[in-house]
Structure 1
Amino acid sequence: MNINGPMKMSRSERLQTCHEIAERLHEVYGERIIAIGVYGSVSRGTDGPFSDIEMFCVLGEPSESSTPIEFSYEWSSGPWKAEVNVCSADVLLENASTVDGEWPLTHGPFFAPLCLYDPKGFFPTLKEAAESPTKEDFRHAINETLVGEMYEFIGKLRNIHLNGPHTYLPYLAMQFAQYGAMLVGLHNRKLFTTGAMVLPEALELPNLPDGFDDVARMVMSGELTDSSRIVAACERFWSGLEEWAVENGYVIHTARIPF
């Protein structure tokens, strides 16, 4: 049989495969399993003919002498691909309650997995954990992203504008757009539905920093060959971010040495 990457599969076939994987998980982990669920496009009902399978396998609390479990099986059978995240309940709950710079893209699975097995009602508890972060948690994640990503990007942009190579500018523009969208999502506590929709969904949100629109639309259009245009758009966005941070009480600049 000649297999060249993912092949078309119907939703019913994909769901049947999910159940087969769940059966195998029960064989491997037995009574240690407290919940199995599907996340991603399959859980949302938006999977396409070539979509992969993403699942949780949640294990009971470890004993005091054992190490919390967190790892993934990720494989391709040939015509389809699957990933199963196997983790202790406490690990998954902690992950769900943590806010980081990519929260708008990574935390959707914690809110509405497609349940295949959950006799003790773990998934509602997981949703409660995902809803638990405070305004200060989001503010901290925004501050970290402004400094840890955006400040570094503008430094790299200025270095490249002076010294090259300009071939790196399109990638930087994409980074500006992606992490700009994360900032907007964090500010609005908005979860994006999928990676493919991050930029268009971010553009629909309120309180956008000045310049984000231009960078995002430039990236979505693929018009990334004009180096001077990229530099100008990203510089305008950076200025907009500095103003936006002041207006909303976020912090980019601190004391010279804050410790």
Structure 2
Amino acid sequence: MLSYPAATTKEQKLHMIDQLKNRLLHLHGDAILAIGIYGSIAQGIDGPYSDIELRVVTKDGVSLPGYEFIYLPFKIEISMIQKQEMYRSASAVDDSWAIKAGAYAHLAAIYDPNGLLEEIRTLPMQVPEEAIREVMREFMIWEPYETVGKIRNNKLDGNYSYLPLGAKDLAWQTAKLIGLANRTFFNTRARTYEESLQMPSRPSGYDELVELVIRGQLHEMEMVYERCENLWTGLNEWVEEMGIDYRLMELPF
């Protein structure tokens, strides 16, 4: 019986990638400007269970359907994007920039006759500093502030079963802010915590909470709550030091 997902070798994946490229070009020809591979395979850090992820850039005005499917033994994702939309996406910044930017910066060309992907790879790092700071300001309102409110509410209500989830949410949200503050994207989601701990600018209390999350030691609820509170204090001091003020003293209207 075949187990799922199935392991694959680098040679199998490279052969499949070549097949996909040739089939796409055969079907769509000149409509395709470039094909790149991203994710762990593009970085050479893929394992035997890694997905194949392709990004196909088409001419403006040409809309082709994307695909995500299992073609045993592979999990394959093919995203189709028009040229100008590709430029916009690669240049954009939001709260997930540190998670998503690598998909552009690490694009490895498997078909790129005009060097389009070489230019696209540089776009994520051209995001203006003021845009990053504004995203951080907005994100503090949208996520961490609300998460800490939920953590405190559930602690007061005696619903300790929520605290591990709240702690994980707060740690993940802070990791995204750390990537933004350091203008550094993570190589893969699986290495986010590991890589965030190596970045020079981090709020106090972050390392201690992430240590619990990484080790799965979230059963001592008083400790979990204390470390969430410590991080929240450190997070506010950290953004204040950067001149990011997300709290108003007067109503905005």
TM class, shorter-length: over 0.9
- Asked if residue 154 in structure 1 is aligned to residue 148 in structure 2, the reply is yes
Q: Measure, in 1, the Cα distance between the counterparts of 2:40 and 2:212.
A: 27
Give the C-alpha shift of residue 56 in structure 1: 0.4
- Asked if residue 125 in structure 1 is aligned to residue 119 in structure 2, the reply is yes
Q: Measure, in 2, the Cα distance between the counterparts of 1:244 and 1:130.
A: 24
Q: Is the Cα contact below 8 Å between 1:7 and 1:80 reproduced in 2?
A: yes
- Equivalent residues in 2 for 1:60-71, closer than 5 Å: 60-62=59-61, 69=63
Q: Measure, in 2, the Cα distance between the counterparts of 1:222 and 1:206.
A: 25
Give the C-alpha shift of residue 69 in structure 1: 4.2
Q: Which residue of 2 aligns with 1:59?
A: 58
Q: Measure, in 2, the Cα distance between the counterparts of 1:240 and 1:258.
A: 27
* Number of residue-to-residue matches in the alignment: 253
Query: What TM-score comes out, normalization by structure 2 length?
Result: 0.95
Q: Measure, in 2, the Cα distance between the counterparts of 1:135 and 1:43.
A: 28
User: What whole-Å deviation, never above 9, does each CA across 1:8-53 have from its counterpart, x for those lacking one?
Assistant: 2111110111111112211332210000010000000111011111
Q: Which runs of 5+ in 1 are unaligned?
A: 63-67
Corresponding residue SS for 1:34: strand
Q: Measure, in 2, the Cα distance between the counterparts of 1:203 and 1:40.
A: 21
Q: For structure 1, which segment, 69-78 or 201-210, has the greater mean C-alpha deviation from structure 2 after superposition?
A: 69-78
Q: Is the Cα contact below 8 Å between 2:144 and 2:170 reproduced in 1?
A: yes
Q: Measure, in 2, the Cα distance between the counterparts of 1:241 and 1:197.
A: 21
For residue 236 of structure 2, the aligned residue among 239, 242, 249 is: 242
Q: Which runs of 5+ in 2 are unaligned?
A: none
Q: CA RMSD in A?
A: 1.5
Paired-residue identity, %: 32
Query: What TM-score comes out, normalization by structure 1 length?
Result: 0.93
Q: Which residue of 2 aligns with 1:203?
A: 197
Give the C-alpha shift of residue 165 in structure 1: 3.0
- Equivalent residues in 2 for 1:45-124, closer than 5 Å: 45-62=44-61, 69=63, 72-124=66-118
Q: Is the Cα contact below 8 Å between 2:107 and 2:121 reproduced in 1?
A: no
Q: Measure, in 2, the Cα distance between the counterparts of 1:179 and 1:70.
A: 34
Letter in 1 for 2:54: M
Q: Is the Cα contact below 8 Å between 1:60 and 1:88 reproduced in 2?
A: yes
Q: Which residue of 2 aligns with 1:15?
A: 14
User: What whole-Å deviation, never above 9, does each CA across 1:169-212 have from its counterpart, x for those lacking one?
Assistant: 21111111111111111101011111111111111111211111
Letter in 2 for 1:236: N
Q: Is the Cα contact below 8 Å between 2:125 and 2:183 reproduced in 1?
A: no
Q: Which residue of 2 aligns with 1:169?
A: 163
